[in-house]
Structure 1
Amino acid sequence: MDLHYLIDNLTNPALLFFFLGLVAVNIKSDLRIPENSSKFISLYLLLAIGFKGGQELAHSVITSEIINALLFGILLAVVVPIYCYFILRIKLSVENSGAIASAYGSVSAVTFVTTISFLEMSNIPFGGHMVAVMALMEAPSIIVGVMLIAIFSSNKKNKGSLKSVVHHSLTNGSVVLIIGSLIVGYFTNDAQAEGIKPFTTDIFKGFLAVFLLDMGIVSGQKLKALLKKGWFTVSFAIIIPIINGCIVAVLSGFFMEEIGNRLLMSILAASASYIAVPAAMKLAAPKANPGLYIPMALAITFPFNITIGMPLYLCIIGVC
């Protein structure tokens, strides 16, 4: 592997702020990002990336590659939670296995946004339609996870929650915002888009840095609790993303040409949700332990993907 991409990624200011958050927790600093501010920044990031994706999509011709990417993303969101569930059942309960499987079948919007920042820094082009792929991968994995819990659980009450969770998955705030912003960006003409460019583009990396600082603080707070659960979950949170990301990095070459698109597809396959899935599982599987699936996705898989994962998948794609 060419260390150039790894070094560039590790010296990215946004990522360094993530590490600053981890350090702050370990030295017991009182550094915190106000909850309302953190929520606003996360909404801004989704809005900005959705809008820019819509703009890119508006200038793209709908091709078989775009259609194949959308279908492949949905397929991943269905298949990944199924095989993850049966691996997790070796050690964990039905509810915990279903919740974690959903998280790893779904996607992390923040990991996706960070990867886009990495691609822009490295001058690697990518298509706006990948935002649509990300949005479509949120709900299917949640639905599959709930169905697995309903099928294998001895608690019959779980079987009545599928309809409400399907609705919640499709109307989840992050899903609505990313799809809505994509549509708004698609129908906005170039002159109008230029008028809000300072908001959607110029300040984007600064807000990303602040958000990753907050993610570093939250990750540092949750990591110790996860380590106390044992090495099975920690190993899963590293090995499964590697397997998913590497396989997709290879398979994407059969229907994708752009290196940036292949990396984004790989990172979507490797990432895990720590926003949409926990919200859904709180409703559908209250017995599932959020002290497992949230820190697995946020404190282990997320930092792994944005430090080692991106350069690794890029190398497999052929940029070494």
Structure 2
Amino acid sequence: MDFEILLANLTNPTLLFFVLGILATLLKSDLEIPKPSTKFISLYLLFAIGFRGGQELAHSDFNSEILFSVLFGLALAALVPLYTFFILKRRMSISDAGAVAATYGSVSAVTFVATASFLEAQQLTFGGHMVAVMALMESPAIIVGVILMRQYEAALPEHPDAPPRQSLKSIVLHSFTNGSVLLILGSLLIGLIADTKQAEGIKPFTTDIFKGFLAIFLLEMGMVTAQRFSAFKNYGFFLPLFAILVPAFNGILTAFLSGFITADIGNRLIFSILAASASYIAVPAAMQMAAPKANPGLYIPMALGLTFPFNITIGLPLYFEIIQRF
């Protein structure tokens, strides 16, 4: 691995604010970002990356690479929860295994944003269609996770106090109307159809202040990570190892396989980080409906407490190095 790139990534101001958030919690500081502000910033990040992606897509011709990229992304989102479920169900309940599998099959928009910042630091770009790929990868993992849970729970006796199961149609609809998915898809569409001259008017808002908002958001993510890390540390080494080794395996394998889809380094890194990331926004919201018996104290801390920090510190330079060499 190129240690200069690794060092540059570890000393990235946005990442250092993430570390500051962790330290603030560990030191029991009263530092706090108001919840409405955090909500606004998360909406802004999704809006900005979606709109910019739509603008890039508007200036690119639809070709076979874009089509294959979408299909490849959908395949990743479906296959990752499929194989991880069978690993997880040996140690966990069916509901927990399905929820964790869906979490790791789905993607993290914030990790995507951090990757965009990493690529910019390397003076590299990525195709606007990759924003659409990311948004479309949210739902297949949820659907696969729900189907697996339903299939393996069918033979189990229903508890009399158990809440009624949601229909698969309602789960699919909810996954697409989830706020984060709807905003990024809507922003992508608006960026795609917006008049180019008119779109220039909001460019300072979507570009110039982007990294500043990202730094504040990662500060909050650092505090949340430290608060939730203890929620699953009593489960032994299995879950922490899973939260690091499985994403690393997915990212490394995708770094190789993505070369058959595109030669663009930026696009390949996006594919790798999407395969390695885990959702802690869309999936938890969907699992509240689909798997109320699943323990969010497992899949949220796994995604946010270990997988997210691993990907933005070690994962990005690792996948980038593999892509450059192969």
Name which of structure 1's ranges 4-13 and 209-218 shifts more when overlaid on structure 2.
Answer: 4-13
Structure 1 match to 2:135: 135
* 1:190 CA displacement: 2.2
Q: 1:179-205: CA deviations, max 9, x gaps? A: 000000011122112110111111100
Contact kept in structure 2, 1:143 and 1:165, CA below 8 Å: yes
Q: CA RMSD in A?
A: 1.2
Alpha-carbon separation, structure 2, partners of 1:160 and 1:66: 34
* 1:163 CA displacement: 2.2
Contact kept in structure 2, 1:149 and 1:158, CA below 8 Å: no
Structure 1 match to 2:207: 201
Identity level (%): 63
Given residue 59 of structure 2, which amino acid in structure 1 is its aligned partner?
H
Contact kept in structure 1, 2:244 and 2:306, CA below 8 Å: yes
* SS state at 2:232 partner: helix
Alpha-carbon separation, structure 2, partners of 1:269 and 1:228: 27
Contact kept in structure 1, 2:278 and 2:308, CA below 8 Å: yes
Using a 3 Å threshold, how does the CA distance of structure 1 residues 25 and 191 change in structure 2: closer, same or farther? Answer: same
Does 2:300 align with 1:294? yes
Using a 3 Å threshold, how does the CA distance of structure 1 residues 211 and 113 change in structure 2: closer, same or farther? Answer: same
Structure 2 match to 1:189: 195
Structure 1, unaligned runs of 5 or more: none
Structure 2 match to 1:8: 8
Structure 2 match to 1:34: 34
* SS state at 1:318 partner: helix
Structure 2 match to 1:80: 80
Alpha-carbon separation, structure 2, partners of 1:175 and 1:148: 23
* 1:158 CA displacement: 6.8
Name which of structure 1's ranges 214-223 and 186-195 shifts more when overlaid on structure 2.
Answer: 186-195
Contact kept in structure 2, 1:81 and 1:141, CA below 8 Å: yes
Name which of structure 1's ranges 146-155 and 131-140 shifts more when overlaid on structure 2.
Answer: 146-155
Does 2:173 align with 1:167? yes
Alpha-carbon separation, structure 1, partners of 2:66 and 2:34: 39
Alpha-carbon separation, structure 2, partners of 1:14 and 1:219: 15
Given residue 266 of structure 1, which amino acid in structure 2 is its aligned partner?
S
Structure 1 match to 2:67: 67
Given residue 214 of structure 1, which amino acid in structure 2 is its aligned partner?
E
Structure 2 match to 1:264: 270
Alpha-carbon separation, structure 2, partners of 1:167 and 1:230: 36
Using a 3 Å threshold, how does the CA distance of structure 1 residues 100 and 187 change in structure 2: closer, same or farther? Answer: same
Alpha-carbon separation, structure 2, partners of 1:172 and 1:301: 22
Using a 3 Å threshold, how does the CA distance of structure 1 residues 280 and 104 change in structure 2: closer, same or farther? Answer: same
Name segments (4+ residues, structure 1) moved above 6 Å. Answer: none
Contact kept in structure 2, 1:42 and 1:211, CA below 8 Å: yes
* 1:276 CA displacement: 0.3
Alpha-carbon separation, structure 2, partners of 1:76 and 1:37: 33
Structure 1 match to 2:223: 217
Contact kept in structure 2, 1:130 and 1:264, CA below 8 Å: yes
Alpha-carbon separation, structure 1, partners of 2:164 and 2:260: 40
Given residue 273 of structure 2, which amino acid in structure 1 is its aligned partner?
I
Structure 1 match to 2:236: 230
Contact kept in structure 1, 2:165 and 2:290, CA below 8 Å: no
* 1:159 CA displacement: 5.5
Alpha-carbon separation, structure 1, partners of 2:78 and 2:261: 19
Contact kept in structure 1, 2:250 and 2:272, CA below 8 Å: yes
Q: 1:187-233: CA deviations, max 9, x gaps? A: 11221121101111111000000000000000000112221222111
* 1:4 CA displacement: 1.7
Structure 2 match to 1:90: 90
Alpha-carbon separation, structure 2, partners of 1:3 and 1:191: 42
Q: 1:89-122: CA deviations, max 9, x gaps? A: 1100000000000000000000000000110111
Structure 2, unaligned runs of 5 or more: none
Structure 2 match to 1:116: 116
* SS state at 2:28 partner: coil
Given residue 231 of structure 2, which amino acid in structure 1 is its aligned partner?
A
Contact kept in structure 2, 1:158 and 1:284, CA below 8 Å: no
Alpha-carbon separation, structure 2, partners of 1:214 and 1:155: 42
Alpha-carbon separation, structure 2, partners of 1:225 and 1:32: 20
| TM-score (norm: length of structure 1) | 0.98
Alpha-carbon separation, structure 1, partners of 2:205 and 2:94: 44
Given residue 87 of structure 2, which amino acid in structure 1 is its aligned partner?
I
| Count of aligned positions | 320
